[in-house]
C-alpha cells in the first residue's frame, strides 16, 4: 500500500508540473474584472433574476476566481475555443461543506 501511495504521489506531482509547462505559453482567458463586476468575454447565469455578476463572482489580485456560491449559477465564455488546455484547482472554505460544482465542457 505504501509503494502505491508513493507512485500515486509522484504521478500527481508530474501531472502538476506538466500542466504548468503546457499552460505557461498560453494567455489567460479570464484576466480582469470591470468595476461593474462583469468579466470581458464572459457571461453568467444565476438561478435568481437580476443578480449582478460581481455579487457572486470576483477575481482576486493573484488571479484566483472566487465564487461565493449563492445564488447558484455558472460562468461561461461567449467565445468558442478549440485546441485548448484547461487547468484549475478546486476547493471550498475550511470547515465548509462540499457543494455542488465542477466544470462542464461542451464537446
- With 50 as the cut, is the pLDDT of residue 22 above it? no
Report the candidate in 92, 89, 55, 60 with the shortest Cα–Cα distance to residue 75: 55
Q: What is the pLDDT of residue 28?
A: 65
Handedness of CA 33, 35, 37, 40 (dihedral sign): negative
Give mean pLDDT, residues 75-94. Answer: 82
Q: Which whole-number Å values give the CA distances from 107 to 8, 74, 85, 86, 87, in the listed order?
A: 29, 18, 14, 14, 17
Residue with cell 447558484: 72
pLDDT tens readout for residues 28-80: 677 677 777 788 888 888 888 888 888 888 888 888 888 887 888 888 888 88
Please tell me what DSSP assigns to residue 78.
S
Question: What is the spatial distance between Cα 84 and Cα 21, in angstroms, rounded to a whole number?
Answer: 14
Query: All 3 cell numbers of residue 1?
Result: 500500500
Residue spans per domain, the chain: 28-93
pLDDT-derived band at 14 (thresholds 50, 70, 90) equals: very low
Residue 70 CB neighbours (<10 A)? 13
Amino acid at each position: 500500500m505504501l509503494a502505491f501511495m508513493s507512485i500515486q504521489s509522484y504521478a500527481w506531482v508530474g501531472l502538476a508540473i506538466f500542466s504548468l509547462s503546457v499552460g505557461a505559453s498560453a494567455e489567460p482567458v479570464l484576466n480582469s474584472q470591470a468595476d461593474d463586476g462583469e468579466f470581458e468575454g464572459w457571461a453568467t447565469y444565476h438561478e435568481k433574476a437580476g443578480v449582478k455578476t460581481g455579487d457572486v463572482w470576483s477575481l482576486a489580485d493573484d488571479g484566483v476566481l472566487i465564487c461565493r456560491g449563492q445564488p447558484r449559477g455558472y460562468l461561461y465564455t461567449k467565445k468558442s475555443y478549440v485546441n485548448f488546455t484547461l487547468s484549475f484547482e478546486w476547493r471550498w472554505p475550511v470547515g465548509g461543506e462540499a457543494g455542488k460544482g465542477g466544470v462542464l465542457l461542451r464537446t
